Amino acid sequence: MFELPAAAFDRAALPGPAAQPGHRRAPGPPSPQAASAPRTLDALLAARAESPDATLLAGCTDIGLWVTKQLRDLADVIHLGAVDELKRIDVHDGRLRIGAGASLTAAWSALVAHWPQLAEIAERFASPPIRNAGTLGGNVANGSPIGDSMPALIALGASVELASVRGDDACHWRPCTWATDKPR
């Protein structure tokens, strides 16, 4: 019961080293070598300063594809999901501030609340699972080739707030906050 016929797998049709018999993953260290999940922004900045080449993981909507589709191995990983400061959305000094770790669902809800004209974009933006898992910071940082959130953020005159262990204006690494003038 429930047996399916054997399906031939055409490994030769795969690009590069994946075409070779026995290939499992791209060359490199086991995935991941080290992982951390800081709980505060200060702990995150310290972890990033200690491991500047670590992969930053939030919603895993892009990084998951690197591993499952591109067969990449990850070295060090820093998970951002436990840092509540990165998930905050508020209005401060007349500017809407959206933390880089805010889900796309939460970020677009905040944007639409201030700019109802964005409702259609928000509705069409990705699928519900991606909107709920992905983050606005990840969408911008990974430079989606289809643009995604960037045209709307550029049109709103959004800016990115940078921070590092050396201070908010050191620009070493950047947990981002989008700030736009004149919310409704």
Contacts of 135 (CB under 8 A, 6+ apart): 58, 59, 80, 100, 101, 102, 103, 104, 107
H helices of 70-179, in order, are 104-114, 119-124, 128-133, 136-141, 150-155
pTM, 2 dp: 0.71
CB 83 within 8 A of CB 38: yes
pLDDT in tens, 143-168: 666 667 888 998 998 988 878 887 75
pLDDT in tens, 55-68: 999 988 888 888 88
